[in-house]
Amino acid sequence: KLCGSNYPLSIAFIVVNEFCERFSYYGMRAVLTLYFISFFHWDENLSTAVYHAFSALCYFTPVIGAIMADSWLGKYK
């Protein structure tokens, strides 16, 4: 049990995992354009375009994975 509640201990691992995932995602988004401009010496337009592509792919690839899991890899086809 988790801290005397009725929740199982695995809930704590899920919450910590979500926190770490969000921390790394938003931390990377905060400095990604600056990294491209400073270290790769890309112009501002290219680095902004890659930044937006990264953000879009982070939200869109789970949809592709869900479609693949439900249709091709799923238990019930």
Sign of the Cα torsion 27, 30, 31, 36 reads positive
Residue 76 in this model has a pLDDT that exceeds 80? no
Domain ranges of the chain: 9-73
Q: Kindly report, residue by residue over 2-56, the tens digit of the pLDDT.
A: 666 787 888 889 999 999 999 999 999 999 999 999 999 999 999 999 999 999 9
Predicted TM-score (pTM) above 0.85: no
Per the structure block, which two tokens stand in for 73?
Answer: 């890899």
Listed residue (17, 14, 20, 21) closest to 58, CA to CA: 21
